[in-house]
Amino acid sequence: MVDMNTLLSLQITIFLLVLAGYIMTKMSILPPSVRGPLSDLVIDFILPCNIIVSFLLEFNKEILQACLTILAVSICIQIFTIVAGDKFYSKKNPGEHTVLKYATIVSNAGFLGNPIAQGLYGETGLLYASVYLIPVRIFMWSAGIACFTGTKGKGVMKKVLTHPCIVAVIIGMVLMILQIPLPAGLEKTLRTAGNCNTALCMIVIGNILAEIRIRDVFSKKTFWYSAVRLLIIPTIVFAGCRAAKLDAVVTGVSTVLAGMPAPASGVILAAKYHGEEHFAVKIVFLSTVLSLITVPLLCVMMTAFQGNMTVG
């Protein structure tokens, strides 16, 4: 059974960091003018370090064979979210549609996913979650980036392939597949820088949230997005896994990780590429609040499902 205290602690951490950014902005310690440089710092340095470290996994033939199923499921989910992100929302406001599309393709699974999967299924769950997140990260910095850059065809490929985060994905995959060890000092540097990712992203969100009236967060659009991200997508994933008769651990990890809230990276990218950053903050804030209810519920349901499968 997942440790609910750990889950609650992770979610409280998010809110306290957002609150820190909010308070510092209200006190003029962190003026809005620093948002651009902070966003650039996260996108061009902190996130690439975090991405490279995330690929430093043991990945031999036995593990590859054991994880092919979860890898295939994750790829299918990412393809589905690209279609869903384009079809589920009104296109009347192109800026908001871009944010919604990105936040449907990408979730906060990278931050919450591993500890939750480990709490549910132990080391096997942690391994499956780590592999599940590989396509998530690749799609995040390919199809996800394309949502904001506004380029098409060769222009998309050029911008995507030269983006620091995609370069980091390529480096990370090479290191993982070839099992190349990094010098201790270099790995420590990457981990130290990468660990700043969550804190800086949430502080930037707090900085933007300080400019928004809290009551404006609650709207039909933000509630509909939250329903799609937290309920509809994981329900479809669970039904698909059951139809394919996948085992309980693959089904549970895939379903829970598919039901994570909107990612902070959407706010950072909207700020960097002059998108609807205020709307991005609204869906991150509301979906994260609602996930305090939906994510534990998903965990309980998947635990019960595993128990039924074992009895059966």
- How high is the pLDDT of residue 7? 67
Q: Which two tokens stand for residue 223?
A: 């509630």
Rounded (5°) CA angle 140-168-193: 100
Q: State pLDDT tens for residues 182-192.
A: 999 999 999 99
Residues (pLDDT < 70) of the chain are 1-4, 6-7, 59-66, 111, 114-115, 118, 123, 150-160, 306-312
Given a contact cutoff of 8 angstroms between Cβ atoms, the answer to whether 39 and 204 are in contact is: yes
Domains (range + CATH), the chain: 4-13+34-307 (1.20.1530)
pLDDT at 62: 62
Q: What are phi and psi of 278, to 5 degrees?
A: -65, -40
Q: What pLDDT, on the 0 to 100 scale, is given for residue 3?
A: 59
What pTM value is reported for the model? 0.77
Q: Tokens 């998309």 appear where?
A: 156
Q: Which two tokens stand for residue 296?
A: 């534990």
pLDDT given at position 272? 82
The residue among 258, 244, 248 whose CA lies nearest residue 298 is 258
pLDDT at 32: 80
Residue 87, pLDDT score:
87
What gap in Å lies between CA 256 and CA 289, rounded to an integer?
16
pLDDT tens digits along 213-248: 888 899 999 999 999 999 999 999 999 999 998 888
Encode burial over 100-126: b for 16+ CB neighbours within 10 A, e otherwise: bbbbbbbbbbbbbbbbbbbbbbeeebb
Distance CA 231, CA 89 (A): 15
